[in-house]
Structure 1
Amino acid sequence: MEETGTKEVVLVDENDRVLGTMEKLKAHQDGLLHRAFSVVIFNDKNEMLIHKRASDKYHCGGLWTNTCCSHPRLEETVKEGALRRMNEEMGFTTSIHYIGQFIYKTAFENGLTEHELDHLFVGRFNGEPKPNPEEVEDFRYVTIDELKADIEKHPENYTVWFKEIVDKYLTELLAYG
């Protein structure tokens, strides 16, 4: 299945300087560093909105992850891309706040390698998402304690980048709002 959004990714160096673009699957086959974003949304009860990726995604299908994660287009800012994809994937928009960025690299059993400079955003939303079934298999709001306990008990059910976000950036995310 093809993601309904970006077909190309923006290749970058470790300082987020643009090196060019490449077809998304090719960049993942070659394990090249590219620009990405992750959006984490909380409701007013401080529950995090997570989603289960559609099972037929090209990698990490069927795994739970943060509210929205994808790649910006070359002609848009990372924040514009995050807002666009949040609407395309989860069916809503809300204001988001930039937290920071991190680089991670992980190889998958299917031969693809995720190597991303991931820009992290946080926001608040209390409504009911209307997710795109081509992108999202399920979603739920979860307390931080429930989430951390489940990740510890079943780490295989979560994406690599989301586990890193929860492990290293939860304090900054919770400080927002």
Structure 2
Amino acid sequence: MVQKVIVVDENNKKVCLKEKNAVHIDGDLHRAFSIFIFNKRGELLLQQRSLEKYHSAGLWTNSCCSHPLLSEEGSEEAESRLRDEMGFSCVLKKVTRIKYNLHLQCGMIEHESNDIYQGVYDGEVVINPEEACDYKWVSFSEILDELTQNPQAYTEWFKYLLLETPLGSELSVSITAQSVQRDG
């Protein structure tokens, strides 16, 4: 079955549906979501994308990312995808929406209107091998160091979101505050 994504205008209003591969070749602006899961120690859950992915295969990225489908809205869609890819669910909070237009090494384009969600989870992770081949929990300071020292090991959107937007510092401050509240 050919997967379609929602192509949008600059105001995130639906324009049409288009085949996912074609959108990434043509560079159409389309809806996406990215999930950042932290544990109670403030470590970020990263996944290594499956080696079978048609782009960015084997690269490390945020906890989960995908494109919304027509059947679900908002955080419900993100929670469903998290459960499918990483084998768990948790409460997700929408943090922001970020637009970007990134050219991937494979020649494809990630031009996305990306809703960013974060959550806290401390249980078991059971990855779906069709989506991810590994996972790890990493402190926020370690991941920022790793992104600058070994950038080729990470997806373009993950590097952009953490290094080129205020999101990296916002997530860091948010999770630090959560850790302090739990400890206090």
For 2:128, the equivalent position in structure 1 comes to 132
Q: Does 1:105 align with 2:101?
A: yes
Name the SS of the counterpart of 2:21 in structure 1: helix
How far residue 173 of structure 1 moved from its aligned partner, in angstroms, is: 1.8
Q: Which runs of 4+ in 1 moved over 6 A?
A: none
For 2:168, the equivalent position in structure 1 comes to 170
How far residue 75 of structure 1 moved from its aligned partner, in angstroms, is: 3.1
For 1:161, the equivalent position in structure 2 comes to 157
Contact conserved, 1:9 with 1:24, CA < 8 A, in 2?
yes
Unaligned runs of 5+ in 1: none
How far residue 109 of structure 1 moved from its aligned partner, in angstroms, is: 3.5
Q: How does 1:22-171 map to 2 (within 5 A)?
A: 22-167=18-163, 168=165, 169-171=167-169
Matched AA of 1:109: Q
Matched AA of 1:127: G
CA–CA separation in structure 2 for the residues paired with 1:70 and 1:104: 15
CA displacement, residues 12-62 of structure 1 (integer Å, 9 cap, x when unaligned): 111110111111111111111100000000000000000100112011111
TM-score by length of 1: 0.92
CA displacement, residues 135-164 of structure 1 (integer Å, 9 cap, x when unaligned): 001100001111111111001111111112
CA displacement, residues 109-158 of structure 1 (integer Å, 9 cap, x when unaligned): 33321111110000000012101011001100001111111111001111
RMSD of aligned alpha carbons: 1.5
Matched AA of 1:171: S
CA–CA separation in structure 1 for the residues paired with 2:117 and 2:105: 29
Matched AA of 1:121: Y
How far residue 84 of structure 1 moved from its aligned partner, in angstroms, is: 1.1
TM-score by length of 2: 0.89
CA–CA separation in structure 2 for the residues paired with 1:30 and 1:44: 41
CA–CA separation in structure 2 for the residues paired with 1:61 and 1:129: 20
Report the structure number with the largest CA radius of gyration. 2
How far residue 165 of structure 1 moved from its aligned partner, in angstroms, is: 2.0
CA–CA separation in structure 2 for the residues paired with 1:164 and 1:79: 22
Moved more, 76-85 or 86-95: 76-85
Matched AA of 1:101: R
Name the SS of the counterpart of 1:82 in structure 2: helix
Q: Does 1:8 align with 2:4?
A: yes
For 1:17, the equivalent position in structure 2 comes to 13
Name the SS of the counterpart of 2:94 in structure 1: strand
Contact conserved, 1:72 with 1:80, CA < 8 A, in 2?
no
| Count of matched residue pairs | 173
